[in-house]
Structure formats: C-alpha cells, structure tokens
Amino acid sequence: MTDKIGLIGGTGPLGQGLALRWSFAGEPIIMGSRQQEKADRIAGEINTRLNTDLIQPMTNEECIQEAEIVLISTPFNFMIQTIEPLIPYLSEEKILVDVTVPLKPFAKGKMVDILSHDDLRALSATELLRKTIPQQVPVVGAFKTLSNSTLREIDRLPVLEQDVFIFSKDKAAKNKVKEKAVKIKNLRPVDAGGTLSARHVERFTAFLIGLNRRYKTHDSGIKVSGLPKREW
C-alpha cells in the first residue's frame, strides 16, 4: 500500500488539471482510465510538459488497487456505474474522494443548475456515493469548486488563491485529503464539515460556471473571508 493519489477517470480536464498541479509539486499520481492507451497518452503529455515521470498511467481497475486516496473524476452520471464493480478493491485503508458535480445539461442563455433530487436519488452526489459504498470505507467530498482550466493553466496562474472545501464525517480521512490538497500552492483547505455540505458546495459550482459564462472567463473560484486562522 502506498499513499499515492489515484484518479479514476483522470484523463478528463479536471483529472488532468489536478494531476498537473500535484506532479508539479512532486506528488506521484496514478492516472486511471477505461483505456490503458488513453491514460498512456495523456499521462505522457503531462509528464513531458513538466519533464517528470510522476504520473503513472493505468486502467481504473489497477488505479483503485494501487492508490490509497482515490478520486472519482468521471461525469456524475457514470460515477456509480464506474465505482460499483470496483467496490471489492476498497477497504477501510483507502479513501474515496468524490469530486463530481451533478449538473443539469445547460443550454446557452439558460441558468446553470444541479440535477433535481429525484434524478440524484440523494440530495447531493457525495451523499449518493456515501450511500453506495460500504460504511467502513471513508468517503470525502473535495475539489468541487476548482476549475479545470484554471488548474491546467499553470504558466499563466502558477498560484491559486482559492479555497478548497473538504467534507466528510471521517476526520482522519478529511485530514489526509487536506494534506494532499495543500501540496497545490496557495490552495487554502476549508474544513467544510460532514457529507451534507455537498448540498451547498455542488451548488456553488453551478453558480461559478454561470459567473464564468457571464464574465467570459474560466477562472472564477471561491475564497471565503472572515474565517479565523487555525491549523486547518
């Protein structure tokens, strides 16, 4: 067992952005995909860009076995069907991190919103994942308000002055995810409480995408004011 981060569906824009930032900080990453060749290609591109070999390409199935902190970074609609066959590889030693945002398909000029509760079968994606995964496996929600393009544009935006909201009822798991989050320069971890906070945080993301569209940017993010300085 390692303390490596694995990204299931890590070949997408968010997975690429996180892999880039973490490997830039010297953190080894496993990039998972349904197709080994796709993971090889995309991991290879980022490794070449950073002149490193820290991103290891694997299938999703290998990724979940090798990594200790496993981010599920598929589109929300495929999260449960992707993770269910992989449940036998999970244990209390691993941490499953939900980064998904259950957005309604959005059309030009229409408000960006999250899926309704009926579609979701829970009140948020993280709660749905929590209901699906055996209770002994820690589930954390995090990284939901970070924009993939902001993460990927490391030359233009070397420092991210943003908050990352991390939530779970499992404090030890939350701490481990926080330790990884702070490797990304200037990201401030915010202890966002338990899994129920996903109901708010997933809505923040819909709101940020709406702001991005209005201001013709991809860079909006959140920094909460007034939080006292403390260990977290």
Ligand X SMILES: NC(=O)c1ccc[n+]([C@@H]2O[C@H](COP(=O)([O-])OP(=O)(O)OC[C@H]3O[C@@H](n4cnc5c(N)ncnc54)[C@H](OP(=O)(O)O)[C@@H]3O)[C@@H](O)[C@H]2O)c1
Site of interaction with ligand X (CB under 6 A): 9, 11-15, 33-35, 38, 73-76, 78, 82, 99-101, 144, 146-148, 205
Burial of 210 (C-beta count, 10 Å sphere; 0-12/13-18/19+): middle
Please, which residue, 38 or 213, has the CB nearer to ligand X?
A: 38
| Closest to 69 (Cα-Cα) out of 127, 128, 125, 27 | 27
Please, which residue, 24 or 76, has the CB nearer to ligand X?
A: 76
Please, which residue, 67 or 99, has the CB nearer to ligand X?
A: 99
- Name the minimum Å distance from CB 16 to ligand X: 7
Q: Which helix (H) or strand (E) holds 43?
A: helix 36-50
Amino acid letter at 220? S
Greatest Cα-to-Cα distance within the chain, rounded to the nearest angstrom: 48
- Name the minimum Å distance from CB 82 to ligand X: 5
- Name the minimum Å distance from CB 230 to ligand X: 26
For ligand X, the nearest residue by Cβ is 12
Please, which residue, 59 or 92, has the CB nearer to ligand X?
A: 59
Residue 72 sits at the vertex; the CA angle it makes with 75 and 194, to the nearest 5 degrees, is 105
